[in-house]
């Protein structure tokens, strides 16, 4: 066995083991999305528990520009940190703090000048959905950037795993015919569905 062949075999083997937890997470969470068990990532209103509610004066920007800065100001005032998303619905501002196990949200009602903090308890299905949807870059902070970097590594590792697998398959003439059937079936199925859905 050549040194290159041995290197690619070991790369393929250990990449598969390294990518195992990430692949399982994306496979199971995608199955939950596919079968509707994930609720499309939309939490039910009743599942949120109010932590506190109080009067709060906040100047909302006229448009959507500056929403992240306004949300960051609110979070800083209340000692809350971490990656977040912000949305505006008229005179209501919603700040969602990303957390795998117990996400929080702050809702500001500009008409009533009231700020409410809520926390959501989680089931394992919701945790998987959050893992699947989590973004890393552009959220601020070191750990979210590490998450984004690890996802990039997962993507590159998956491509390398596919490449080494194809190389190893090609080096085994006895299974080459069945490999063509599998590869052709996968590509054909994908193209047919791509053209008809």
> Which residue ranges form the domains of the chain, and what is each CATH number?
3-37+140-196 (no CATH), 41-133 (3.30.160)
- At how many degrees (to 10) do helices 142-170 and 3-34 cross? 120
Which tokens is 73 given?
A: 């100001």
Q: The dihedral of CA 23, 26, 28, 34: what is its sign?
A: negative
Predicted confidence (pLDDT) at residue 7 exceeds the cutoff of 80 = yes
What's the whole-number mean pLDDT along residues 28-35? 86
Q: Is the Cβ–Cβ distance between 130 and 147 less than 8 Å?
A: no
Instruction: State the Cα–Cα distance between residues 3 and 31, nearest whole angstrom.
Output: 39
Say what the pLDDT of residue 103 is: 87
State if pTM tops 0.75.
no
**H, E, C per residue of 127-168:** HHHHHHHCCCCCCCCHHHHHHHHHHHHHHHHHHHHHHHHHHH
Other C-beta atoms closer than 10 Å to the C-beta of 163 total 14
Q: Say how far apart CA 145 and CA 151 lie, in whole Å.
A: 10
Mean pLDDT of 143-159: 88
Instruction: Write out pLDDT tens, residues 82-101.
Output: 888 899 988 899 998 878 78
């Amino acid at each position: 066995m050549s040194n290159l062949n041995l290197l690619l075999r070991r790369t393929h083997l250990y990449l598969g083991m390294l990518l195992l937890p990430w692949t399982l997470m994306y496979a199971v969470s995608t199955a939950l999305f596919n079968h509707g068990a994930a609720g499309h990532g939309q939490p039910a209103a009743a599942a949120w528990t109010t932590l506190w509610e109080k009067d709060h004066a906040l100047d909302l920007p006229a448009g959507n520009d500056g929403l992240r800065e306004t949300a960051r100001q609110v979070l800083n005032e209340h000692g809350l940190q971490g990656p977040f998303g912000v949305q505006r619905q008229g005179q209501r501002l919603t700040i969602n703090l990303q957390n795998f196990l117990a996400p929080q949200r702050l809702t500001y009602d500009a008409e009533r000048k009231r700020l409410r903090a809520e926390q959501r308890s989680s089931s394992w299905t919701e945790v998987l959905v959050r893992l699947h949807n989590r973004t890393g870059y552009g959220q601020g902070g070191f750990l979210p950037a590490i998450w984004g970097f690890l996802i990039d590594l997962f993507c590159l590792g998956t491509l390398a795993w596919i490449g080494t697998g194809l190389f190893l398959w090609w080096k085994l003439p006895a299974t080459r015919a069945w490999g063509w059937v599998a590869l052709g079936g996968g590509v054909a199925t994908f193209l047919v569905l791509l053209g008809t859905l």
